[in-house]
Structure 1
Amino acid sequence: MPRGIFACFGKPHVHSSAPAPAGAAAVAEDQAGAVLVELFLSQGCATSPEAELLLSRLGRGDFEVEAPVVVVLAHHVDYWDYMGWKDPFGSSLSTVRQKAYVEALRLDTMFTPQVVVQGRSQCVGTDQDALLSAIGSAPRFPSPMLQANFQRPAPDSLQVSLSGVLRMKVEGQANVMVALYENGLLTDCLKGENKGRVLSNDFVVRKLEKLCTVKDISAKKTVSGTVNFPLWEGFKSSKCGIAVFVQNSAYQIFGSQNVLLPDNM
């Protein structure tokens, strides 16, 4: 195992959690919304493919979970790239986001594959029982009701305009984030710990942007904004979607929404 603060795990790990701040109580179960599940992984980690398969099955609805909707995102980190295989979807921004969770949850180690649920609890990404337990016990909030408008101002650019209500009162300050993700990716891994394998990846975060910042607003107040995503070679809108979520300064999630892209973008 490499030295330093990084580790690549496959064994179960007890999840830790952080309490919700005052003024942000979860809604009753019959009013509850989606739960955001984020996987941090790398194609350079031997146990990440197993976690990726678990996340893909979760996103397809293969498991019975208490949450009415689960929004899933896969963040590919870049700190394993030196091990012999450079993850084509790896991003320093994903590494920064994982580090923020490590600090917020007061963990000692960054590792892959790691799952973070609602920004409040975490477990090893291969531990199905721990993952489903974390989803079941996660606080839930009304999902935003934002309408999306998609435009292609240039061949290599996607413009997403969102407008609607968050459906929950925000006390203090929070950011409305938008992630563009892609499904159905296959990679022939030629080097590293997964050498010789064909790796399948879904819900891969291609870009994460801030739509807007809100502060002390009511549940019915309209929010709006526009984000621009640079596109990649081979982009197909039918394989992509966006996830919208509300996140406070402690990286805790207060509602999320999933929107598929039109097939003809």
Structure 2
Amino acid sequence: MAPRLFACFGRGKYPSSAASASASAESNATVDAAAEEQRRGGPVVVELFSSQGCGTSPEAEAVATRLGRGEIVSGGDIPVIVLAFHVDYWDYRGWKDPYGSSAWTVRQKAYVESLRLDTLYTPQIVVQGRAQCLGNEEDAIAAAVRSAPRVPSPSMQATFSKPSPERLQVALAGTLRSKVDSVGVNVMVALYQSGLVTDINKGENKGRVVANDYVVRRLEKLTTVKDISAKKSVSGTVTFALWDGFNPAKCGIVVFVQNHSLHILGARQFAVPDNL
């Protein structure tokens, strides 16, 4: 279907020697993991552009869930971060996607331009901001992930707080671990939600119960940086407006670095503490 240019295809003060040995082992493991990531690169960011109003998107959502769980890319040696952006251009067909946003449509349009595509379509997968394929083609997605360039994750720490019941604040600080040139990059922070279930009673998917994971609910820019070394510290704070029924146990954030060509140059994922 193609309206206009759219298409839908421990205790105690002092540690015991055993505890010290365990802590040392954990520290060494962390160092080893960091060295291995430096050699191989960090996770690959996969963005799904989807809509509950598109008849073929539910299948792609299921693929995205399995991809995020490490079930699509064989071997499990390439970590994947999944972000699902629900667009709004299928709402006219009778079902308004409760997670759809015109901002996500704009984001997809930017990829259409940067990847030199002819049209918007759903479900679409974009890998590291550099390659794209149909969102329900597992083999094509796995191939794109395996061939995607990988860079180290930003070495950042996240501190969470709720200054009010309606707001979540995240303070981030650390290094990007990649040199930034004079053109600059944006450091973005996405807040996503998993475990969403919707009973659809109108539109293309009428009568279906649809499950959605990694759904981006908010996206904010932490900062823009230019001309910095890989070891230069970067910091900032973002504040997210929360929605009714916000459940931190089902949410996470992703910090990612993206240049003006929309290439993703590093990403790190954090769980949202469930004791907020």
User: TM-score over 0.5 for the alignment?
Assistant: yes
Give 1:99's aligned residue: 109
Higher relative contact order (CA 8 A, sep 6+): 1
Distance 2:66 2:116 in 1: 29
Compare 91-100 and 64-73 and name the one that shifted more. Answer: 64-73
String of CA shifts for 1:155-194, please: whole Å, max 9, x gaps: 0100010000111111130000000000000000010010
Equivalent position amino acid for 2:133 in 1? C
Give 2:185's aligned residue: 174
Distance 1:223 1:199 in 2: 39
Equivalent position amino acid for 1:30 in 2? R
Q: 8 Å contact 1:209–1:227 — kept in the other structure?
A: yes
Matches within 5 A, 1:183-262: 183-262=194-273
| Structure 1 segments unaligned to the other structure (5+ residues) | 10-26
Q: TM-score, normalised by structure 1?
A: 0.91
Shift of 1:263: 1.1
Give 1:69's aligned residue: 79
Shift of 1:4: 1.2
Shift of 1:36: 0.4
Distance 1:204 1:254 in 2: 21
Q: 8 Å contact 2:38–2:151 — kept in the other structure?
A: no
Residue 47 in structure 1 maps to residue 56 in structure 2? yes
Distance 2:264 2:52 in 1: 27
Distance 1:76 1:219 in 2: 33
Distance 1:258 1:171 in 2: 24
**Larger Rg, first or second structure (1 or 2):** 2
Give 2:90's aligned residue: 80
Give 2:68's aligned residue: 59
Q: 8 Å contact 1:247–1:254 — kept in the other structure?
A: yes
Give 1:150's aligned residue: 160
- The percent identity for this pair of structures is 62
Shift of 1:31: 3.2
Aligned length: 248
Distance 2:38 2:90 in 1: 40
Distance 1:249 1:3 in 2: 29
Q: 8 Å contact 1:67–1:135 — kept in the other structure?
A: no
Shift of 1:3: 3.1
Shift of 1:112: 0.2
Distance 1:67 1:167 in 2: 21
Q: Secondary structure at the match of 1:129?
A: helix
String of CA shifts for 1:177-232, please: whole Å, max 9, x gaps: 00000000000001001000110000000011100001011111100000000000
Give 2:29's aligned residue: none
Q: Is the helix fraction higher in 1 or 2?
A: 2
Distance 2:77 2:218 in 1: 26
Q: Secondary structure at the match of 2:227?
A: strand
Give 1:23's aligned residue: none
String of CA shifts for 1:59-93, please: whole Å, max 9, x gaps: 11123257531111000000000000000000011
Q: Is the strand fraction higher in 1 or 2?
A: 1
Give 2:42's aligned residue: 33
Q: TM-score, normalised by structure 2?
A: 0.87
